[in-house]
Amino acid sequence: MRKAWTPSIVPGGSDHNIYLVMDDFGRLGRVWREADVERTDLETVIQDLLEGQYKSPVGVFGFNSFEGWSRDVSEDVAQEIRRRCDLQAQDVPSTLQDFVERHEGTRQLTLLANLADLERSARAEVKLRIKALAYARSQVDQPSSPKPAERTARRTLRNLFRKPLKNEGSETA
């Protein structure tokens, strides 16, 4: 049995990434927005989103039929939109707020949880250092304390402030 031929929606000989936006028209449904071939690169799609060319974007999807891949790039686009708005000290446009929150929200919550864990860890480390410092000072301040204890206390103080905090210098983004 012979299969029916289906024409390709990809322009012939096109070896570039194509990005399409799924837009939501409410009760009329969701649609793939029509786009000129020259306006399907990622930069143009992001610019069109920022300029309000879409009513209520649901997702952005990229593909390259020549290379044989396709994927949902909505999270990357949402993060880029947020980054550009932050750099310009502007709010995310109202037409994109739901889109950005929906697609970057999971990652933001994970980052916030990681930051909270890091802060708790750093506070615990500081408390330990304060206790060690108090102990070392109490050993030095005792008038009847023997010389070896004084040397140990001073060594403890020196080492205490030489040692970096946990995770210091290896911040996660």
Structural domain boundaries in the chain: 18-105, 107-162
pLDDT value at position 49? 94
**How many Cβ atoms sit within 10 Å of the Cβ of residue 103?**
23
pLDDT value at position 173? 45
pTM of the predicted structure, to 2 decimals: 0.54
pLDDT value at position 135? 77
Residue with tokens 């927005």: 33
pLDDT value at position 18? 93
**What's the token pair of residue 157?**
């103080």
Query: Which residue ranges of the chain lie beneath pLDDT 70?
Result: 1-15, 105-114, 139-150, 157, 160-173
